[in-house]
Structure 1
Amino acid sequence: MLINRNIVALFALPFMASATASELSIGAGAAYNESPYRGYNENTKAIPLISYEGDSFYVRQTTLGFILSQSEKNELSLTASWMPLEFDPADNDDYAMQQLDKRDSTAMAGVAWYHHERWGTVKASAAADVLDNSNGWVGELSVFHKMQIGRLSLTPALGVLYYDENFSDYYYGISESESRRSGLASYSAQDAWVPYVSLTAKYPIGEHVVLMASAGYSELPEEITNSPMIDRNESFTFITGVSWRFLIHRWMSVRLVLRRNATKVVALDCSVHTGNLASESGSYG
């Protein structure tokens, strides 16, 4: 099964937040993906929807970030993420494609930078394959802007993904041995730029539940479409789901109240609060 790289981008943008409070969102949804690989039918799968925004780290679906520096306009973080892109010949309907080697999803590590302006947010990131499946790396440059229309929030985004030669060749290339087994022509994929657009909508139901939907479209370059593995020039992804929002409070306070009657201590009040998990009903996004 192939899950398009755009799902990573679609997940991250809707849940990116700049609030100072710690926010947690947990839910479930479904992702529909039109795979560019030949022999694949459109597929739908259930997915978890998880995000957390804290003071020092965040979870934005498939990406865990450790914040190195943060200001009103800028955020720089180290990232660890899961790349869901994969190819499983056992799931393919095309006999020739069934003879190819499996391409595995992989773990990535890198850096991400966000810059906030009134007109929107710019994101730049780069991450390398740390499991050595592809021995490649991926970059992303995007801009997105959240618009509020009553309770409905819309976040359009425009961006481009960069796949280096090793990454492209792992997922879209065909080796000489694969060519002999399958009858497909051998192909060495080059580095590629993949532009995409997306639109995310979120609508709160009551105080705690949020409905979300996100659609993304990417235009595949000839470095990818020239591969005999590929039979379409574009890729489309649609995600919908529901999540529950929380605000996490963490504090510790000690109050010492002395009341004196003449020379005698009447009362000593010492209280310690160590934590609370409460539903959050304010703005989120």
Structure 2
Amino acid sequence: MKYFFFLLPIYLLLVSPHSKASCEESNEQCIEVGRWDFAVALGAGVITNPVRGGDNVPLVVLPYISYYGDKFFVDNTSLGYTFVEQSKYDVSLVAQLNTERAYFERFHPSNILVSNSFTNESNTPSNPVTNPHPDTGTDSDQPDDATGGDNDKQSPDVITIDDISKRDWALDGGILAHWYFEEYGKLSILWLHDVTGTYKGHNGRIDYSFNVPLSLSNLARLKFKIGAEYKDQKLVDYYYGISSIDTESERHLYNGKAVINPFVSIAFNYRLNDDWQIKFSAKQTWLDSGITDSPLIDKKYTSNIFIGGLYEF
């Protein structure tokens, strides 16, 4: 089933009509070039945390910052340079914060500047430590209660976020490509490498997003997205593996494995006036077994939901 989510966008690429990225007035995929955009969303929401002992992240105030020039762009925690730009597709070099550490530290920038890929309708796109997971770790089967809820956080049979060594932040760099279909659909492929040497691995994403035409003039926008994330073994092992540095218990030792995590998301905006919009967004990601088999994980998915008002400056 997980490969279905990975291959579906490619199928849509083959069967969709000819792509079109020309900026007609009615085209919802187009943005104004050469202008800084600032906005803030006020409301209520949450990012669920799959790491045992980690807190869910409340979403109350979400700032958005973006700029798109002829080639250079900024989109919250992402920087990019577009070096190929055609009517049907574009290709950019990008650099962005890796969001994995957000589960291990409450005030990571990605918990404030939440990725526009699932909370906005943007058209884009400490002390360092050595790798705490040498190859000395071994896979181990989890006990039945190793994936329990909050009641077993105090049990000596489980390991939590408070028991492990620090997971450091990382900066990823790579290539982002978009293909445009008419004025409603977009296929995106992203491939990134850890340029800071934190986990020394790769990750990527493929997704297909499309706007649903609504009979509410231009006041309302509804967008769906379906896709999959790839995280290689080095990334998973660094953040979710358990080594002898984390615990003296051999039964908890775990080597991470490469994963493909499918996801779906929805975003709805309704414009009230020139400054304010009503905003709703939600995303669900299903975690592959290479992550969920870790004794550090007690959920098989992560969720993000937000509802509130968006003010544009």
TM-score (norm 1): 0.73
Matched-pair contact (CA < 8 Å) for 2:165–2:245: no
Q: Any gaps of 5 or more consecutive residues in structure 1?
A: 1-15, 246-285
Q: Any gaps of 5 or more consecutive residues in structure 2?
A: 1-27, 108-149
Deviates more, 1:182-191 or 1:194-203: 182-191
Identity of aligned residues (%): 25
In the alignment, which of 165, 170, 177 is matched to residue 101 of structure 1? Answer: 165
In the alignment, which of 178, 181, 194 is matched to residue 129 of structure 1? Answer: 194
Higher strand proportion (structure 1 or 2): 1
Q: 1:237 to 1:105 in 2, by over 3 A?
A: farther
Matched, 1:21 2:33: yes
Larger Rg: 1
Q: 1:70 to 1:211 in 2, by over 3 A?
A: farther
Number of the residue aligned with 1:48: 63
Q: Distance in 2 between matches of 1:188 and 1:104?
A: 18
* 1:20 CA displacement: 5.4
Q: Distance in 1 between matches of 2:106 and 2:282?
A: 28
Matched, 1:225 2:240: no
Number of the residue aligned with 2:257: 190
TM-score (norm 2): 0.66
Deviates more, 1:144-153 or 1:226-235: 144-153
Q: Distance in 2 between matches of 1:155 and 1:213?
A: 11
* 1:51 CA displacement: 2.0
Q: 1:141 to 1:173 in 2, by over 3 A?
A: same
Number of the residue aligned with 2:84: 69
* 1:225 CA displacement: 0.5
Matched-pair contact (CA < 8 Å) for 1:37–1:229: yes
Matched, 1:205 2:272: yes
Q: Distance in 1 between matches of 2:82 and 2:279?
A: 26
Deviates more, 1:234-243 or 1:63-72: 234-243
Deviates more, 1:215-224 or 1:19-28: 19-28
How many aligned positions are there? 228
Say what the alpha-carbon RMSD is for the aligned residues: 2.5
In the alignment, which of 164, 171, 181 is matched to residue 232 of structure 2? Answer: 164
Matched-pair contact (CA < 8 Å) for 1:70–1:76: yes
